Chains A and B, each alone.
Chain A
């Protein structure tokens, strides 16, 4: 990888070819002012490339004279090879401030975790989807060859594809006579594998050869966000992925308020309709994006927490909320998509990955499957940093799981300018400890619209390390800096001024946002502690940590540790898996063996109920502090804090 050296700090960092200089500077722990998110419009991130191989973009923000002197905007300059870059004083300091001697953090932000793909985590597997699309050409019936339509189809499927016997959907049978004749006896039969030794089932017939267009839909139904992905079931490839907020959010942010809503008159029907609408909206976007026809999407696998699955199926979730917290079903049956209102091929099936308990659902089973936790020897901690905060500890021999009700903050919920990790979301934040000026990058490097999970983790860590907020998350307003201000009796920090933002208002992080973030991180940390305590294991016993969640493309381990979201794990054992739940659904679409494994995982997992666990509440309150009330557990962070106060 190319090496970039920054002067005057004399710091070096290795980055991928094609990475921009602004991110490289961030990774090196070097401050460059940047307030437009990397869109090339604020013109503040001027740097001089003294030597090396970079690709500069033309910009109106620099005079010809400056360009001649080697100036370029860091955010739009791509790294092609090794380079040496000088950061001029004006790019280090805030406007109109004296050039102060800056103190740098000596701890480099090292470990940026990028999300992993399926094969990297799960390894090799055989392609064996639950559905098959088989093309057959039959001879038309006559007085001698007078088999019935169905038997004729069967004869041909047996002869060409070895299908000895199959059952058939009544709806498919009703249309069969006309379909076969209109297609001139050349059809594609779509069959779904039978369960438990049953024969396969014919679910639809299409005119002509569709065997090459065989698609499945993987869906992660989160409490806050829903992700959908179209998978080519012949090539294993993902053709596209989209996401949206779960429209049910309008009926309550967490699962408890959703359940309460479902008990109102028509509440359950409405919730079912809302999530179906969300999924159908995503399907529509996917179809436009990929050019796939909806009639070729013949299977759907969904992963979601237990409540989400109940609501998706329209099953009354009432008793999930009441002691002793019993769901109607953990292993939901396969149903027809049309029964749930899902707008894919007629006859297509929907399967939900099984869960373990009311608060440990199919999403965690799915993640444990995709990340290979259930087949490793290493003691692994798997954390899904979603609204429900589910996690599991174990390996191929044992698995202990719990859910800590973290809240939606890291998905952008309950945060004023929070948003999902999509274009325009601030994903990386640095704050200069002397000038309090921020350095931000957005996804897609466009003007900022809001802040996604990774940006929020960054912002919290930076606000804390620069002393702008105290350990309780309260602002030290006394600094007198224009970015640190009081609004309606509440402290806030201005990340992006209105003129630089896409929303034409100041993008801020408020004290209430910080409160929510601290509660969320506290719940997750307390969940980890409680899982370890109940196994009688120290943090050091964990050999592998897998983090799933919709933070964004990156998760910076140092920052996550600084805010006390995670214990001080050594970076080499931590992996960010991205959306593990969606990956598991993807895998189950492709592999019947994987589907069986998911069942085994759900059956095998032990569930720890935290609501009745006396030590959880205690662990939680002690985690409501930055980084943690027990500071001895965070020696590295305390070292950084000490350096800060030395500034």
Chain B
């Protein structure tokens, strides 16, 4: 008799969520562990969102400048390039410029940028605030109102501002990404709190936070993995939201991705190094179960898409 590999079946399933309006992209929907296509179905596989910043980034690696420098002063052009040239599935618009400790762009300016980007691309858009709790809650509320019907994702909603963000999302038909500090229980707690406000769980995504390769990635891996295990094996409804891994900003902060070859000759070619760092981080979180990866370098995106394809998805 031929050998039959043992397989598991799971009680639960990750919710499939459709993002965007014109060209919709579905994330999640799997009823098995990442890429376990021999056990269950993985209808969508991980999707790649490419970062676009509202203001010109400062202090980025030279390598990023060489591929993105021509567009990074113009979020609309940047977003268009991600869609048409780099093959992004989704745009993640980072409103870093709204940070009161930085450029402190006004709510109105931020909304104008979001609308311009939405008009320029057909793929779905995630709008991430600067991470300033109070400002994000103001900005994202206005963004929700101005983007009604576009089915954007708003984030990150955190414990201190989830109420206003989730309420705005509920009112104007947006999705919400809840961000918690690398902990299964906290991720679940935030989802419970948000759904208690009345927002449907179908509109929630989990951003459990991640670190880059060499910066606590193995811990983040476990947390991502445990979220999936609880969702699939224990049928834990509150953890069945698709997960986001906001890894680009973490990778390109790491000195291994930034430092020049002159400064660290033993580390080899800087260009390859940065791309490999981002790719390896992305492969890891993808294997841990992330459904949506937020990435920065077009070459890393290309490599990841190729990897996903080689998995047969």
Q: Quick check: which of B48-56, B128-136, B186-194, B272-280 contacts chain A, the rest being far away?
A: B186-194
Task: Give the secondary structure class of A's interface.
Answer: loop
A216 to chain B, nearest CB (A): 48
Contact with A621, one of B159, B183, B196 (Cβ below 8 angstroms): B183
Check if B192 sits within 8 Å of A471, measured CB to CB. yes
Interface string of B154-172 (1 = CB under 8 A from A): 0000010000000000000
Check if B185 sits within 8 Å of A471, measured CB to CB. no
Give the CA-CA distance A379 to B221 in the complex, in Å.
38
A645 to chain B, nearest CB (A): 8
Give the CA-CA distance A624 to B189 in the complex, in Å.
9
B168 to chain A, nearest CB (A): 16
Which single residue of chain B is at the shortest CB-CB distance from A631? B192
Give the CA-CA distance A622 to B196 in the complex, in Å.
18
**Contacts A471-B193, A624-B185 given; 12 further ones with Cβ under 8 A?**
A470-B196, A471-B189, A471-B192, A472-B193, A621-B183, A621-B185, A621-B186, A622-B188, A625-B185, A625-B189, A629-B192, A631-B192
Is A618 an interface residue, CB under 8 A from the partner? Answer: yes
- CB neighbours of A622 from chain B (8 A): 184-185, 188
- CB neighbours of A472 from chain B (8 A): 159, 189, 193
- CB neighbours of B185 from chain A (8 A): 618, 621-622, 624-625, 629
Give the CA-CA distance A631 to B193 in the complex, in Å.
13
Check if A471 sits within 8 Å of B196, measured CB to CB. yes
- CB neighbours of A631 from chain B (8 A): 192
Residues of A within 8 A of B (CB): 470-472, 618, 621-622, 624-625, 629, 631
Give the CA-CA distance A35 to B33 in the complex, in Å.
56
B205 to chain A, nearest CB (A): 19
Which single residue of chain A is at the shortest CB-CB distance from B188? A629
- CB neighbours of A624 from chain B (8 A): 185, 189
A362 to chain B, nearest CB (A): 34
Give the CA-CA distance A621 to B184 in the complex, in Å.
9
Which single residue of chain B is at the shortest CB-CB distance from A641? B196
Give the CA-CA distance A631 to B159 in the complex, in Å.
19
Give the CA-CA distance A624 to B184 in the complex, in Å.
12
B160 to chain A, nearest CB (A): 9
B11 to chain A, nearest CB (A): 13
Interface string of B259-300 (1 = CB under 8 A from A): 000000000000000000000000000000000000000000
Most chain A CB atoms below 10 A, which of B159, B185, B186, B189 = B185
Contact with A470, one of B186, B188, B193 (Cβ below 8 angstroms): B193
- CB neighbours of A470 from chain B (8 A): 193, 196
A522 to chain B, nearest CB (A): 10
A525 to chain B, nearest CB (A): 12
- CB neighbours of B188 from chain A (8 A): 622, 629
Interface string of B175-202 (1 = CB under 8 A from A): 0000000011110110011001000000
Give the CA-CA distance A629 to B236 in the complex, in Å.
11
- CB neighbours of B192 from chain A (8 A): 471, 625, 629, 631
A626 to chain B, nearest CB (A): 10
Give the CA-CA distance A629 to B186 in the complex, in Å.
8
Which single residue of chain A is at the shortest CB-CB distance from B159? A472
Check if B189 sits within 8 Å of A629, measured CB to CB. yes
Give the CA-CA distance A629 to B191 in the complex, in Å.
10
A272 to chain B, nearest CB (A): 41
- CB neighbours of A621 from chain B (8 A): 183, 185-186
- CB neighbours of B196 from chain A (8 A): 470-471
Give the CA-CA distance A618 to B183 in the complex, in Å.
9
- CB neighbours of B184 from chain A (8 A): 618, 622
Chosen A-B contacts, 22 in total, with CB atoms closer than 8 Å, are A470-B193, A470-B196, A471-B193, A471-B196, A472-B159, A472-B193, A618-B184, A621-B183, A621-B185, A621-B186, A622-B185, A622-B188, A624-B185, A624-B189, A625-B185, A625-B189, A625-B192, A629-B185, A629-B188, A629-B189, A629-B192, A631-B192
Give the CA-CA distance A183 to B149 in the complex, in Å.
102
A91 to chain B, nearest CB (A): 32
Give the CA-CA distance A629 to B238 in the complex, in Å.
10
- CB neighbours of B183 from chain A (8 A): 621
Give the CA-CA distance A622 to B193 in the complex, in Å.
14
- CB neighbours of B159 from chain A (8 A): 472
Give the CA-CA distance A472 to B178 in the complex, in Å.
15
Most chain B CB atoms below 10 A, which of A471, A624, A625, A629 = A629
Which single residue of chain A is at the shortest CB-CB distance from B239? A629
- CB neighbours of B193 from chain A (8 A): 470-472
B137 to chain A, nearest CB (A): 15
Please name the 4 residue pairs, one residue from A and one from B, whose CB atoms are nearest each other, closest first.
Answer: A622-B185, A621-B185, A629-B185, A625-B189
Give the CA-CA distance A80 to B193 in the complex, in Å.
48
- CB neighbours of B189 from chain A (8 A): 471-472, 624-625, 629
- CB neighbours of B186 from chain A (8 A): 621
Give the CA-CA distance A624 to B183 in the complex, in Å.
12
